[in-house]
Amino acid sequence: MSAPGAAVDADAMRRAIELAARGLFTTDPNPRVGCVILRDGRVVGEGWHRRAGEPHAEVLALQAAGAAARGATAVVTLEPCCHTGRTPPCADALIAAGIARVVCASLDPNPRVAGGGIARLRAAGIEVVVGPGAREARGLNPGFFARFERGRPHVRLKLAASLDARTAYADRRRAWITGEAARADVQAWRARSGAVLTGAGTVRSDDPRLDVRLAYGDPVRQPLRIVLDPNASCAPAARVFAGGDALLFVAPEALATARAAHAGSPGVRVEALPRAAGGLDLGAALARLAALEVNELWVECGPRLAAAWIEDELVDELIVYYAPRLLGADAPPLAALSAGYAAAPTCFEFLDARFFGGDLRVMLTARREESVCSPES
């Protein structure tokens, strides 16, 4: 059987990426992966990974292909695994099925795989092509790659603001700035995230739930809810601590007090982080979340904590919802950045802008290269 051409591979990879995206809200902490089995240029099997502990995309695609898998090509969005975790190695399944050729978008950054799956396939005489669709496939799993390559989750900072970049009313009354469509979009971002984080000030002033209340996934997977509260100032009865997995980070000297306060709070863990200027060490928080297998972190917080994330250069994506109103100079700002921040190396590049109802969502990515950030560039 002749190998499919590059165009056929590309079409199959696009389909595999579409399949992988079906796991956007369910696979965490595993990556979103899709697989297509081709025989003589025709699709004979498809599969996508649904959730941790269930069969991987390759296994499901092989099951769908049946005997037609022998001598076929497997097109998969991530390197087939070669270790036994919650499920057996996918590389072994491909070998046993008689696959003749594998096209994968990128290597798996997990050190338990990291080229080992490809090596096992090649040792079995299977032709392996790496690279087609790599950018798109990685784009589905930014947090999975960040966790293994950078030792921390992929961080998205969300802000809602008026046209004059104000995030609340000047009188601090509790009221939405954005409309229902924008808030529904926020729900989708929460649903795909491994954790949602806020600060003590937001908990005290707004008493948010930070959960997912729309139907994303079956069943809905609730993200870990995290509160940064150096002095253990938040009431244990706050809604963020109710009905689900929550993690409270406090300063070391407040650990005993916080643990005593939450002794009767099921599902609430209390841990200490080192102090940093104005609060807790955000880098240490990210390292801890990576250890807890959090891939994507969604941050919703007030202007001071938002500024800390930006000034510490820990924001990967900035997502701002602009409402068509003006709130005035006395209203809280978008981020309470320090006076010297303008000289910092981090700036942002526009990724996307679209309307949700009457509000405009702007997405930006962090850029730290001087050539990009320079006004002369």
Residues labelled catalytic: 58
> What sections of 262-302 are H helices per DSSP?
282-291
Q: In angstroms, what is the C-alpha Rg of the chain?
A: 23
Residues 50, 7 contacting (CB under 8 angstroms): no
Nearest to 234 by CA among 255, 265, 258, 268: 258
Nearest to 144 by CA among 219, 210, 66, 49: 49
CA distance 302 to 198: 8
CA distance 322 to 360: 5
CA distance 152 to 144: 9
Q: Which residues of 164-183 are buried (b: 16+ CB within 10 A; e: fewer)?
A: ebbbbbeeeeeeebbeeebb
CA distance 189 to 24: 10
CA distance 377 to 375: 6
Task: Say how many Å lie between the first and final Cα of the chain, rounded.
Answer: 52
Residue 246 sits at φ, ψ, to 5 deg, of: -135, 150
